[in-house]
């Protein structure tokens, strides 16, 4: 038998903090592919309207919370950013102090291939709607990527096994997180926390640690002074997507990191009333700007590691 491989150590290649977001990401002022009641603005507009804001260790990304909307005009201004670089085998660490909350919000931190969706794969790291926690981490792929029923090696709950985005109304293969502190108001109440994603040809893993969790690895919490990370030492992930029945190299192309905040749309809009939210989603977004004062990301940093 060959000797077991030593724990993988990955080297930091990108440390994005504060104003560095403006260089590392592109602002996607595109029509919302998920039909949300948003208007994704360009970088200049986002800065002029303070929808993005940066200082030394803070990057804010938010929806407008002051304008009343004309029901027949464009949606509420918001922001969607995509990393300039794309990654295959890598680790991404997200230190997030606050995430968007409120009825109608659908925030996401995720990765996707630029074109030909879903055949290049999609990895949703942090995503949800209408303050309905906890988080779920989800893969969306073309046909032929499924997950085993085994629950070994991760602490979350697999909700669906078939990652194929072309069936089951595109629910993909979500793993639900055990902790309410992984999403929305509960996440924000304790100052947020850390998300990390590791992708190799053998698996995709997602971890979450609450801000005050004593088990946050120091290299996740403090960035290890620009040194590398060894995710093999982080303990079991919350979500594990192995390659047994899913050829990761075949189903996942080079991925960009995307951070977006849409309102209503295919998911948040369709379950809006079930979430206990008032009025209809679109009317609420149009007429209640002040309800979006908490609809912002406060990101302390994003770090990316490769071999």
Chain positions 261 to 290 lying near ligand NAG, rule: CB under 6 A, are 262
Among 77, 141, 188, 260, binds ligand NAG (CB under 6 A): 260
d(CA 19, CA 54): 5
Among 127, 131, 198, 219, binds ligand NAG (CB under 6 A): 127
110 binds ligand NAG (CB under 6 A): yes
The Cβ of residue 130 has, within 10 Å, a number of other Cβ atoms equal to 23
CA–CA distance from 174 to each of 159, 196, 206, 241, 281 (Å)? 6, 16, 11, 10, 24
Residue carrying the six token digits 């949606």: 75
34 binds ligand NAG (CB under 6 A): yes
Known active-site residue 132: no
Among 22, 53, 119, 203, binds ligand NAG (CB under 6 A): 53
User: Which among 28, 48, 122, 219 is annotated as catalytic?
Assistant: 122
**Residue burial 52-88, b: 16+ Cβ < 10 Å; e: rest:** bbbeeebbbbbbbbeeebeeeeebbbbbbbbbeebbe
Extract the tokens encoding 68: 């009343």
- Given the complex with ligand NAG, which of 25 and 110 has the nearer CB atom? 110
Known active-site residue 122: yes
What one-character-per-residue DSSP string does 68-108 give? PPPTTS--EEE-EEEESS-BSSEEEEEEEEE---STTEEEE
Task: Output the smallest distance, CB 261 to ligand NAG, in A.
Answer: 8
117 binds ligand NAG (CB under 6 A): no
- Given the complex with ligand NAG, which of 129 and 229 has the nearer CB atom? 129
Q: How many residues bind ligand NAG (CB under 6 A)?
A: 14
Residues interacting with ligand NAG, by CB under 6 A?
32-34, 36, 50, 53, 60, 80, 108, 110, 124, 127, 260, 262
Residues that are catalytic: 122, 127
């Amino acid at each position: 038998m060959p000797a077991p491989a030593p724990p993988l150590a990955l080297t930091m290649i990108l440390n994005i903090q504060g104003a560095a977001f403006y260089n590392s990401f592109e602002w996607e002022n595109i029509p919302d592919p998920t039909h949300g009641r948003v208007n994704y603005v360009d970088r200049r507009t986002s800065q002029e309207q303070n929808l993005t804001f940066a200082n030394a260790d803070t990057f804010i990304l938010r929806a407008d919370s002051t304008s009343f909307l004309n029901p027949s005009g464009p949606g509420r201004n918001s922001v969607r950013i995509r990393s300039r670089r794309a990654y295959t085998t890598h680790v991404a660490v997200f230190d997030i102090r606050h995430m968007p909350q409120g009825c109608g919000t659908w925030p996401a931190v995720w990765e996707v291939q630029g074109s030909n969706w879903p055949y290049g794969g999609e990895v949703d790291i942090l995503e949800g709607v209408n303050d309905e926690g906890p988080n779920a981490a989800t893969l969306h792929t073309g046909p032929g990527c499924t997950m085993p029923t085994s629950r070994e090696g991760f602490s979350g709950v697999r909700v669906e096994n078939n990652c194929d985005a072309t069936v089951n109304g595109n629910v993909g293969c979500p793993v639900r997180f055990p902790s309410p502190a992984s999403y929305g108001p509960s996440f924000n109440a304790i100052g947020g926390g850390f998300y990390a994603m590791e992708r190799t040809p053998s698996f995709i893993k997602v971890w979450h640690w609450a801000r005050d969790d004593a088990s946050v690895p120091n290299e996740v919490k403090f960035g290890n002074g620009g040194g590398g990370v060894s995710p093999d030492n982080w303990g079991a992930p919350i979500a594990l997507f192995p390659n047994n029945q899913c050829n990761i190299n075949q189903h996942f192309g080079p991925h960009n990191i995307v951070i977006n905040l849409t309102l209503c749309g295919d998911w948040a809009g369709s379950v809006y009333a079930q979430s206990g939210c008032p009025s209809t989603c679109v009317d609420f977004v149009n007429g209640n700007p002040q309800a979006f004062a908490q609809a912002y990301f406060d990101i302390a940093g994003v770090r990316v590691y490769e071999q």
